[in-house]
Amino acid sequence: MQIKANEANALMADTWGQRGIQNSDAGVQERLSKIGSRVLQGYHVAIASEDLRAIAPKMNEIDEELRGFAYEGVGMGLAQRDLLTPSSENRMATFVAGDGAAYHNWVYVGLGLMLARAGLPIKPHLEKLNFARSWLAVDGYGYYQGMFHWQDSLDNQVISEQISGYARSVFDQGLGRSIWFIGGGDVNHIARTIDSFAPDRRQDLWGGVGYACAYAGGAERATIEALTNTAGVYRFQLAQGTAYAAKSRQSLGNYSVYTELACQVLWEMGVDAVVESLAANGEALESQTWQHYRARVFHPVRTTLKFSEMLSQETIAQQGQSR
């Protein structure tokens, strides 16, 4: 089940050709290649490290700005080992309880990536997690489906019957993240892809695009400005996804020029100001019809978002059950 970087890059190049990407942003494609390499680096470290304590030091060698992606790969690798060679301890749970605590959000996204890659049902694994972590896994699951099974998930718009309730929105937010990359930065193609979906799915898809545009990045200012225009009535959802990317970046102090640029274009202010705005407004920015799950996912290190600090695990569970 090992993954090779050259095969993944070749697959994406072929995908862009099949999907007819014509006005791509070369920076987005180059960025995807870098991110994919870091994901695979984390994956290979995880499957090769018998001693879990050896993983974090190797991750610390990776540039902070891309480190989160490497931890998604770690999540994939640890999930694979737990699935194929179970031990007396769950490796993923042990890792996030120790050295991987700061990046536990990204590790659980990796769980969703691996479940989708292995073609395994996701529901049994969600039942073992609290709501916040299950949402992260569903996000990763949706992202993988969009990236590597786009004929089903994007063209035919298939979604597993196992994913219901609010998890469907989270799946679409992950799917939206994939659209940013699988669209190759071609904003018109991105808009057409989302417009082909039913109206009740478009808000979450645009939110996922906004998150990926700001957190993963790769685009020039002109591309983000064009994306903002093509989002039309969904510009708010695009901007809100960007705000949560800013929150994710600030929580660990791993700032990115791409996140700053996206915030400047969509909010006309920098990352810190956007995050402060979220903190000041609490959940007032949440529309009644579109609530981005990342607003309620805990970031254990250096977070300044007051409203997320005030939300207890009990409150998160109640919110998840009410949907």
**280 pLDDT higher than 70:** no
At 268, give phi and psi (nearest 5°): 60, 35
pLDDT at 303 over 60: no
Q: Do the Cβ atoms of 208 and 241 come closer than 8 Å?
A: yes
Over 90: is that where the pLDDT of 32 sits? Answer: no
DSSP 51: S
pLDDT-derived band of residue 4, with 50, 70 and 90 as boundaries?
low
Residue 127, token pair as written in the block? 């039942």
Residue 101 and residue 105: Cα distance in Å, rounded?
9
Instruction: Answer with the residue of higher pLDDT: 72 or 133.
Output: 72
Summarize pLDDT for 159-201 with one digit per residue, the tens: 887 788 888 999 999 999 999 988 888 899 999 999 999 999 9
The SS3 assignment for 198 reads: coil
Q: Residue 151 corresponds to which tokens in the numbers above?
A: 């004929």
Supply the pLDDT for residue 24: 67
Work out the average pLDDT over 2-30. 67
- DSSP readout, 55-110? HHHHHTTS-HHHHHHHHHHHHHHHHHHHHHS--SS-HHHHHHHTTTGGGHHHHHHH
Q: Give the rounded percent of residues in the chain with a pLDDT score beyond 90.
A: 60
Per-residue confidence (pLDDT) for residue 166, from 0 to 100: 86
Alpha-carbon gap, residue 206 to 236, rounded angstroms:
9
Contact residues for 307 (Cβ-Cβ < 8 A; gap 6+): 278, 279, 282, 283, 295
- With tokens 């903190």, the residue in question is 279
- On whether the CB atoms of residues 133 and 102 are closer than 8 A, the answer is no
Cα–Cα distance measured from residue 288 to residue 33, given in angstroms and rounded to the nearest whole number: 37
Q: Looking at the predicted structure, is the pLDDT value of residue 248 above 80?
A: yes
Q: Please, what's the b/e burial string for 291-309 (b: 16 or more CB within 10 A of its CB; e: otherwise)?
A: bbbbbbbbbeeebebebbe
Cβ of 213: how many Cβ atoms within 10 Å? 33
CB 140 within 8 A of CB 171: no
Q: What percent of the chain has pLDDT over 70?
A: 82
Q: Please give the angle made by the CA atoms of 42, 45 and 49, to the nearest 5 degrees.
A: 145
Question: Quick one: pLDDT band at residue 22, thresholds 50, 70, 90?
Answer: low
How many residues appear in the chain? 323
Sorting pLDDT into bands at 50, 70 and 90, what band is 6? low
Closest CA to 112 of 74, 67, 70, 143: 143
DSSP 8-state code for residue 147: H
Name the average pLDDT for the chain.
84
- pLDDT reading at 279 higher than 80: no
Quick check: 207 and 176 in contact, CB under 8 A? Answer: yes
Q: What is the pLDDT of residues 56-111, one digit of tens each?
A: 999 999 999 999 999 999 999 999 999 999 999 999 999 999 999 999 999 999 99
pLDDT at 7: 56
pLDDT tens digits for range 194-239: 999 999 999 999 999 999 999 999 999 999 999 999 999 999 999 9
Is the pTM above the cut of 0.75? Answer: yes
Q: 310 pLDDT band (50/70/90 cuts)?
A: very low
Place of tokens 């919110």: 319
Look at residues 229, 278, 269, 225 and name the one whose alpha carbon lies nearest to residue 251. Answer: 278
For residue 60, how many other CB atoms are within 10 A of its CB? 11
Asked if 122 and 114 count as a contact pair (C-beta separation under 8 A), the reply is no
Min mean pLDDT across 42-56, 105-119, 235-249, 282-296 is at 282-296
Query: What token pair was written down for 172?
Result: 């679409």
For helices 199-215 and 257-267, the axis angle rounded to 10 degrees is 130
pLDDT band at 323 (very low <50, low <70, confident <90, very high): very low
